[in-house]
Amino acid sequence: MSRSVLITGGSRGIGLATARALQALGDRVAVTYRTAEPPADVLAIRCDVTDAAQVDAAFKEAEDAHGPVGVLVCCAGIAKDQLLMRMSEDEFTSVLDTNLTGTFRAVKRASKGMLRARTGRVVLVSSAVGLRGEAGQSNYAASKAALVGFSRSMARELGSRNITFNVVAPGLTDTQMADKLTEAQRERLVDQIPLRRLGRPEEIAATIAFLASPQAAYITGAVIPVDGGAGMGH
């Protein structure tokens, strides 16, 4: 069955890989982007998730093209790494505003149609760092940990309407976000990963696609790590 899917932050990386995976299953997929447009074979909608009006407009555009959004994947995210003593309040709050409040804005907007339809799938992209913490990433880790509490609250709030909420927690994944690491940082992090390599965006996308699939109908409030074992025990 073809569903209407909206993926925030789908211009590249994990979001775009998820768009490709769901398109391959026959879904009608729209992705949002903020700066660089994604490839032409996916419906691209410009939308900054820090602005509720833009989120609303993006949903309208996706719904006009593909029908009510039945699957929401929240992938839009940023990192502004800094040690606490040097971190400005803006570096802290802007990461929270995109990663956490941006997700709240998209989920709130999506829930309207899902409540009406009495069904829906929501997958939030967190991070292994949100569970185990990382020096220099207190803002990012706080935003990603908060997604777990948010998702589990929503799972309880909307479970009776057959709307599922799940979190995928990727480890270090080979995208533009990971390109910002120095070679030394990358080597140090890879050393901590039992599988001794970065994840591929397609490997994260496969788990997101599963959580959005009919086979996952009885899974809600889950946090699934896709991290080569990096977060084990957290």
Kindly list the residues in this chain that would bind ligand NDP in the complex (CB under 6 A).
Answer: 8-9, 11-15, 32-36, 47-50, 75-78, 98, 102, 125, 127, 170, 172-173, 175-178
Q: What residue spans of 67-101 are helical by DSSP H?
A: 89-96
CB of 177 to ligand NDP, least distance (A): 4
* CA 133/CA 195 separation, integer angstroms: 20
From the list 33, 104, 140, 165, the catalytic residue is 140
Q: Which is nearer to ligand NDP, 153 or 176 (CB)?
A: 176
The residues that bridge with 167 in the sheet, in sequence order, are 124, 223
CB of 160 to ligand NDP, least distance (A): 29
CB of 24 to ligand NDP, least distance (A): 18
CB of 76 to ligand NDP, least distance (A): 3
* CA 234/CA 232 separation, integer angstroms: 6
Q: Which is nearer to ligand NDP, 123 or 162 (CB)?
A: 123
Q: Which residues contact 54 (CB under 8 A, 6 or more apart)?
A: 46, 47, 48
Residue type, 154: M
Confirm whether 33 is a catalytic residue: no
Contact 136, 84 (CB under 8 A): no
Shortest CA distance to 110 belongs to which of 146, 70, 57?
Answer: 70
* CA 33/CA 210 separation, integer angstroms: 23
Catalytic residue set? 140
